[in-house]
Amino acid sequence: MRIVIINGPNLNLIGTRSPEIYGTTTLDELEALCHGWGVEAECVIETYQSNHEGDIIDRLHAARGADGVIINPGAFTHYSYAIRDAIDAIGLPTVEVHISNVRDREPWRRVSVVSDVCVSTIFGRGIPGYRDAIRHLTARAAWPVETIAYGPDSDNVGDLRIPRGESPHPVAVLLHGGHWRDTAARDLLDPAAVDLTRRGWATWNIEFARVGSGGGFRSTTADVAQAIGSLSDFAEGHELDLSNVVVIGHGSGGHLALLAAVGKSEVPISAIVALAPIGDLEAAHEAGVGDGAVEAFMRRTPEQSQERHVAASPIMNLPLGVPLLIVHGDEDERVPVSISRSFAGRAADEGDTVVYHELEGVGHEALTDPTMPAWVKVIDEVDRLR
């Protein structure tokens, strides 16, 4: 697989230009990192940078023999319909990347004229956004994906992958983490989705409203419920087994997965798999998880009463009434493992069927990375739910 990475105007100055926004990584260092990520993903990376619109268009045209494109158009993002048309004309899956959170800066930076011809837009993740773009393109190439709208909003979509082999297929609904913020998106679980599909699971990797794009407790949980319920709309045509639907969530997605069991979904949930979940909002608030992420999700100030957390916190809604698999690494740097210890213990006390694994020496991201040993433990347990 060959991926062309194109950086636009002023990207040659990263490392020295506004390091408080773009970081201290230079373009040469960025390109070296991308080549390394390409080796990990077993693909060939070609890199290019120009400050000139016409040169970028020519390089896009020359990329037609490649398998995918990653582009950071810089300021051209906001007005170059010529670059937009070039992306559209070459017909390659293209990922738009921005180092900074363009939705949290000047209003004019929030406008992109190229997004509608790209398969994904990644922003606000810093330099690792390029790594995520590479992973997204390789995941798309690894297994066919159908993107389906489950509601009227732009975030009401999910990626459906169907396994080969005997049907009907058990379904794994995937809920990504990222502290409920819109800088995170469903591409984070692409590698997990591909591996699960290879193992015989139909995967429904969903997007939903997040903080920064209209999300918050009520709107986000409503989207998740709607996405799970929408499986009934296309189950027959895709040979899905709706008697075996497992919801798998990571981090804040683990919180949403646990909370999905509280409501009455149109599609019954067979089990919940919560990976490093935020199962107790008050404990997460007190621990400062995500630097104010809980407050932003709940739209509350730190001084407001914890009563606001009751409806939104899984631990306050026990028992959940479905089998629970909870996995957490003891070196998790984003969600304290103590939250899962407490949640799993109380869930068992309240009568829920709970399997709890605390993995020694494991951090947060390893739980969803198929190249890591922690994922083997996760997937072995998930396969037992089939």
What is the per-residue pLDDT across 88-142, written as a single tens digit (0 to 9) for each? 999 999 999 999 999 888 988 889 999 999 999 999 999 999 999 999 999 999 9
Tokens of 350: 């309240």
Q: Is the dihedral of CA 175, 177, 181, 187 positive or negative?
A: negative
Share of the chain above pLDDT 90, in %: 92
Checking if the pLDDT of 264 tops 80, the result is: no
Helix ranges, the chain (H)? 19-22, 27-40, 53-62, 81-90, 128-142, 190-198, 217-229, 231-234, 252-260, 281-287, 293-298, 337-349, 373-383
DSSP structure string for 134-176: HHHHHHHHHS--EEEE-SSSTT-EEEEE--SSSSSEEEEEEE-
**Is residue 266 very low, low, confident or very high in pLDDT (cuts 50, 70, 90)?**
confident
Average pLDDT for residues 358-384, to the nearest whole number?
95
Distance in Å from the first CA to the final CA of the chain: 33
Which residues on adjacent β-strands are paired with residue 72?
7
- Residue 81 is a catalytic residue: no
Q: In whole angstroms, how far apart are CA 81 and each of 77, 222, 327?
A: 9, 36, 46
pLDDT value for 301:
55
Mean pLDDT for the chain? 95
Buried b (16+ CB within 10 A) or exposed e, 23-35: bebeeeebbebbe
Say whether pLDDT at 263 is over 80. no
pLDDT tens figures, 201-240: 999 999 999 999 999 999 999 999 999 999 999 999 999 9
Residue type, 147: T
Is pLDDT at 310 greater than 80 in this prediction? no
Catalytically annotated residue among 35, 79, 81, 98 = 98
User: 73: closest CA among 92, 91, 98?
Assistant: 98
Cα gap 350→326, rounded to integer Å: 16
Residue 300 predicted with pLDDT over 70: no
Contacts 24+ apart (CB under 8 A), 232-241: 232/266, 232/267, 233/150, 234/148, 234/160, 238/160, 238/162, 238/169, 238/202, 239/162, 239/167, 239/168, 239/169, 240/168, 240/169, 240/171, 240/202, 241/167, 241/168, 241/169, 241/170, 241/171
* DSSP secondary structure string for all residues of 310-322: TTT-GGGG---SS
| Whole-structure pTM value | 0.94
Range 196-201 average pLDDT? 97
Q: Nearest-CA neighbor of 79 among 52, 118, 112, 57? A: 112
Is 150 designated active site?
A: no
pLDDT at residue 305, rounded to an integer: 45
Cα 212 versus chain centre, distance: 15
Q: Which of 224, 191, 197, 203 is nearest to 160 (CA)?
A: 203
Whether 40 and 80 have beta carbons less than 8 Å apart is answered as: no
CA distance readout (Å), 200 to 99, 138, 238: 36, 19, 13
Residue 140: per-residue pLDDT: 96
Q: Helix (H, G, I), strand (E, B), or coil: what is residue 371?
A: coil
Write down the pLDDT at residue 386: 82
- pLDDT over 60 (residue 193): yes
Return the structure tokens found at 337.
């493992």
From the list 126, 125, 56, the residue with the least C-alpha distance to 94 is 56
Please state, in angstroms and rounded to a whole number, the distance separating the CA atoms of residues 191 and 78.
31
Q: Which of 21-25, 178-182, 248-252, 301-305 has the lowest mean pLDDT?
A: 301-305
Q: Which residues of 211-230 are buried (b: 16+ CB within 10 A; e: fewer)?
A: bbbebbbebbbebbbbbbeb
Q: Find tokens 């070296």 and name the residue.
A: 32
